[in-house]
Amino acid sequence: MTTSRDSLFSLEGKVALVTGAAGGIGAAIAQALAQAGAQVAVHGNRRPADETALAIGEAAAAFSADLSQSEGAEQLFHAVRARFGRVDLLINNAGMIHRAAAEEFALEDWNRVLQVNLTSVFQLSQFVARDLIAQKAAGKIVNIASLLSFQGGIRVPAYAASKGGVAQLTKALANEWAPHHIQVNAIAPGYIETANTEALRNDETRNRQILERIPAGRWGEPEDIAGTAVFLCSRASDYITGSIIAVDGGWLGR
């Protein structure tokens, strides 16, 4: 008899940590993972993830950590480990963007973006993988990359550098941890309607230019990313590692 636990996409019995899950893409991913059967640790920073946890119910618990501080990742991992006993699935979703002309970009802003978007991704991945390897357990890491993992963008040099780094880090970690049955992949979202992109949508010209270039003819919604995250966390993707999957309504194909 086939049980839901045997199903290709079931996450029953798994513990997931989703960073930046108070809203936007992270909240949609956390809800989808819970629907697939996972227990979910939802992380927030300035905006607590309590509402996301409440919407999911007893399978979720909220945690808080500032990932712009080098000790934030370690504190977060240990708090989740203490509550759930382990982390099988890590979704490195938290990210920030800072816009300024490259020649005026302050080093302090550069360092903060790199710490949140790239260094904390490495730190959390290390903590989770070390623990999985020590327990000889399989796991999945899904990093949220960007179209700017492939393209340079304008006025966002730190964001582009950090997301390019996320793509390379995904491949580097995938190579080292495949023998330990830990798959590391990334999702590169296209233009998704979240707080992150509000400024772009409010700029009539940019909004029109963006829409004209998206073959699907619409902005993406956070839920558009969630299915790929479930897939990359499930048994269905066991032979996929080191991949960066664009979920962009066709943008990169043009």
Binding site for ligand NAP (CB under 6 A): 20, 22-26, 44-47, 66-68, 93-96, 116, 144, 146, 189, 191-192, 194-197
CB of 20: closest distance to ligand NAP in angstroms?
A: 3
Nearer Cβ to ligand NAP (10/191): 191
Catalytic-labelled residue, pool 63, 159, 191, 219: 159
CB of 115: closest distance to ligand NAP in angstroms?
A: 8
Longest dimension (CA), the chain: 63
CB 18 within 8 A of CB 42: yes
72 - beta bridge partners?
A: none
Sheet strands side by side (includes 139-144): 60-64, 39-44, 15-18, 89-92, 139-144, 182-189, 244-247
Q: Two tokens at 79?
A: 């708090």
The DSSP letter of residue 117 is I
For 153, phi then psi, to 5°, come to 70, 180
Whether 191 is catalytic: no
Nearer Cβ to ligand NAP (37/165): 165
Dist. CA 88–CA 197, nearest whole Å:
30
CB of 135: closest distance to ligand NAP in angstroms?
A: 27
Dist. CA 127–CA 5, nearest whole Å:
26
CB of 96: closest distance to ligand NAP in angstroms?
A: 4
Nearer Cβ to ligand NAP (46/136): 46
Q: Which residues participate in catalysis according to the annotation?
A: 159
